Amino acid sequence: MVTGQETQAQGGAGRTRGRPRSFDRATALEKALMAFWEHGYEATSVSDLTRIMGIGAPSLYAAFGDKRTLFDEVVRVYAGTHGAFGERALAEEPTAREGIARMLREAAAEYTDPAHPYGCLIVHAATNCTSADVEALLRERRNANIAALESRIRADIAAGVLPAGTDAAALARHAGAMIQGMSQQARDGARREELEALAEIAMAIWPHD
């Protein structure tokens, strides 16, 4: 005969068994970020993600939504952490020249840091990608970064820090091209010192007041 107390105990045990396995969301998200950064959006499957994140598919969908929604969150987290050095440099340095010089130096260090995949997630995650939405998301991020560079340069032109005839759009695109190229070269094995030398050359073309 099963007593009421035993029934309650069995019910409690059943509810425990039915609960999804708990996990640290931030840790799982960082693992997903590393996977997308290393392999790109297309090549990273849901089964890869569940294995790398250490959670089951139901937990992944419950906590993050589908793969596309998870990737959106990964991009936001990357932009605010690993990829935030450029925005910080522009905000903290007194001029566009100094901000972009710092951004390129820090890119050389960040893109070759062995603690995480080489290069930049925003540059590489859409490689060989068949999702137009993912390509558009990352393209918009890259274009927004270039627009921020141009805005900073234009502010210095207006303040007389840079010559009035400076082509702000071309200078911003040059800096953007350097960042993206450094990312690819880091993926191809370039060392930090090599990218730092490249950054120095890139700044040599800047106009002087």
What pLDDT sits at residue 126?
86
pLDDT band at 7 (very low <50, low <70, confident <90, very high): very low
- How confident is the prediction for the chain on average, in pLDDT? 90
Angle between helix axes 96-111 and 168-187 (nearest 10 degrees) is: 10
What pLDDT sits at residue 1?
42
Place of tokens 């540059």: 123
What pLDDT sits at residue 11?
44
pLDDT digits (tens, 9 = 90+) for 99-140: 999 999 999 999 999 999 999 999 999 888 888 999 999 999
* Amino acid present at 142: R
What pLDDT sits at residue 190?
98
Q: Are the beta carbons of 29 and 77 closer than 8 angstroms?
A: yes
What DSSP character marks residue 22? P
The CA distance from 82 to 135, in Å, is 20
Q: Is the model more confident about 3 or about 156?
A: 156
Burial (Cβ within 10 Å: 0-12, 13-18, ≥19) of residue 22: exposed
Q: How far is CA 109 from CA 85, 183, 185, in A?
A: 11, 11, 13
As a whole-number percent, the residues of the chain with pLDDT over 90 amount to 84
Give the rounded distance of the alpha carbon of 166 from its chain centre.
Answer: 30
Q: Is the model more confident about 208 or about 72?
A: 72
Q: How far is CA 133 from CA 36, 37, 68, 70, 139, in A?
A: 16, 17, 9, 14, 10
Average pLDDT for 14-18: 43
